[in-house]
Amino acid sequence: MGRLSRLSLHLRLSLRVRLLLGIVLPLLVAVLLTMTAVLATIEQRAEQRMQQDIELIAHAIQLPVSYSMERDRRGSVHQALESVFQLDQVYGAYVYDSDGEQIAAVGAVRPRHEPDIVQDVTLTGEDEAGQYEEIDGRDVYSHYVALTDDATGQIIGWLQVTRRASDFEEHRQEVQRQMLAGLLAGTVVVLLLVMVGHHRAVGRYLGPLSGIMSRIEKGERGVRADVDGPRELSMLARSLNTMLDAIERAEQEIQERRNTQLELEERLRHSEKLAAIGRLAAGIAHELGAPLSVVDGRARRLLKAESESLSLKEQGNLKDIRHEVQRMSHIVRQLLDFGRASSRERRPIDSASLVDSSVEQVRELAEARAVSLQLDGERPGPTLEVDRIRIEQVLVNLLRNGIQAEGVSRLKVQWQAEDEGVCFTVEDDGRGIDPEDMPRLFEPFFTTKSVGEGTGLGLAVVHGIVNEHHGWIRAEDSELGGACFRLCLPVRIEREEER
């Protein structure tokens, strides 16, 4: 992943932050707006109630003060004022005569001049009023009530009861403080609820899922996501697992194909190598064949014609020459077999009769070595379209190897039809083949026999002929204890395939 896309990934908001921004923030804004509206109403009500308190207090002493004013009892007026001043809400109480002249006053501050309201109210004919005003530099709320003569109903003065304006402000601040604290506590609770809810519903499943994904990114292919959690996430995990399975299968297939290709290439190289060696061997054998038969012919003629004149020692030497020449001819024949170009002389033939004719060729050798031969297969056997001489040579080479192998007393040959064609097994009860020799067994000139006994061409010839017939051969351990050679040949080679 590029650095830029990584950076943009980091800059993207997490689901939790998105939830907070998308749900909690609008919720809080809505709550804040509602609370502001509610606060305004509460404040208005509270203010009205506080004004009503002052109004009630004023009304409570209106009558006694009027009474005392009628009778000009200033002391009683003062007493009445004193009595309301005891109340917490009251900041000051003042009485004016009908001309607005202050005649009694209690309280922290006193108005130095006649309040305008007295005139205003008098002019409008009202008998009470309330207003905010400033008395001696202090903000207050005053309620004015008219003092009337009991008998005539005429206004004889005014009663003013005041309350500090800051009382309202303090009350408002207190309400605001409480609401803010409630809002804060509510916000914290909502935040916690959203975070816990997110963790329980999504976060605890998303964490392991993204952990798995980063492990996959690092190259781990064996990991699989847990399919627990809410439906969407479990579907995501399931799809991820299916995708990983598919990738694993595809990788396995690719690996298998690569292995098959490597194997094919190796076999092709091997076949090409064998073909080159075969051509070389055939060339040498061809050149050696003629001189060897000349040497053998001369030695034979000399032995025949001059036998009387030759000493015994000379006769012995000539016999040795013939023996060695015959051995060389055998090698040359094998070389020719190995290098011979593939034949196209294929005819249908019964596999049982192929085995019989091959066994006949080695029977004498088997008897000489006291090896018993056991043949096991259907008669007539499955039919094969092959070059009879070449396939006989394959079986003879395998049989001869078996008879000659160390410690062999029993040799078993089997044939049967299988899916791949007709298969033959030649196995013995000898010492078997060393595991380290197995890979080199079919190589030309590989032999474990001592010099003069083996050429190492027998199995190479076998391999060449089997390949030529598009079959396969392999060596393995036999249940009898020795070696087992198993080969299969297709019943017929299609012309297309051959080409």
Are the beta carbons of 365 and 405 closer than 8 angstroms?
no
Q: Give 419 or 453: the residue with its C-beta nearer to ligand ADP.
A: 453
Q: Give 146 or 359: the residue with its C-beta nearer to ligand ADP.
A: 359
Are the beta carbons of 406 and 423 closer than 8 angstroms?
no
Q: Give 475 or 489: the residue with its C-beta nearer to ligand ADP.
A: 475
> What residue type is 109 in one-letter code?
V
Q: Give 349 or 396: the residue with its C-beta nearer to ligand ADP.
A: 396
C-alpha 407/C-alpha 430 separation (Å) is 5
Tokens representing 401 are 């190897």
Compute the least distance from the CB of residue 462 to ligand ADP, in Å. 7
Compute the least distance from the CB of residue 380 to ligand ADP, in Å. 28
State the DSSP string of 200-214: IIIIHHHHHHHHHHH
Q: Give 241 or 447: the residue with its C-beta nearer to ligand ADP.
A: 447
Q: Give 79 or 447: the residue with its C-beta nearer to ligand ADP.
A: 447
Compute the least distance from the CB of residue 262 to ligand ADP, in Å. 26
Compute the least distance from the CB of residue 403 to ligand ADP, in Å. 8
Q: Give 90 or 457: the residue with its C-beta nearer to ligand ADP.
A: 457
Tokens representing 330 are 């055998």
Compute the least distance from the CB of residue 212 to ligand ADP, in Å. 54
Compute the least distance from the CB of residue 405 to ligand ADP, in Å. 3
Tokens representing 131 are 């207003």
Closest by CA to 423, choosing from 408, 434, 413, 438, is 413
Tell me phi and psi for residue 348, to 5 degrees: -65, 135
Compute the least distance from the CB of residue 219 to ligand ADP, in Å. 46
Residue nearest to ligand ADP (CB): 458
Q: Give 62 or 478: the residue with its C-beta nearer to ligand ADP.
A: 478
| Chain centroid to CA 36 | 52
Binding footprint of ligand ADP on the chain (CB under 6 A):
401-402, 405, 428, 430, 433, 441, 446-449, 454-460, 482-483
Compute the least distance from the CB of residue 278 to ligand ADP, in Å. 14
Q: Give 2 or 452: the residue with its C-beta nearer to ligand ADP.
A: 452
Residue 58: how many CA atoms within 13 Å on its side-chain side? 28
State the DSSP string of 304-343: HHSTTTS-HHHHHHHHHHHHHHHHHHHHHHHHHHHHPPPP
The three-class DSSP label of residue 483 is strand
Compute the least distance from the CB of residue 459 to ligand ADP, in Å. 3
Closest by CA to 85, choosing from 116, 120, 109, is 109
Instruction: Tell me which long-range contacts 102-111 makes (C-beta under 8 A, separation of at least 24).
Output: 103/74, 103/77, 103/157, 104/74, 104/77, 104/78, 105/81, 106/78, 106/81, 106/82, 107/162, 108/138, 109/135, 109/136, 109/137, 109/138, 110/135, 110/136, 111/135, 111/136, 111/160
Q: Give 229 or 482: the residue with its C-beta nearer to ligand ADP.
A: 482
Compute the least distance from the CB of residue 477 to ligand ADP, in Å. 10
Instruction: Strand 421-428: give its sheet, edge to edge.
Output: 372-377, 410-418, 421-428, 483-489, 472-477
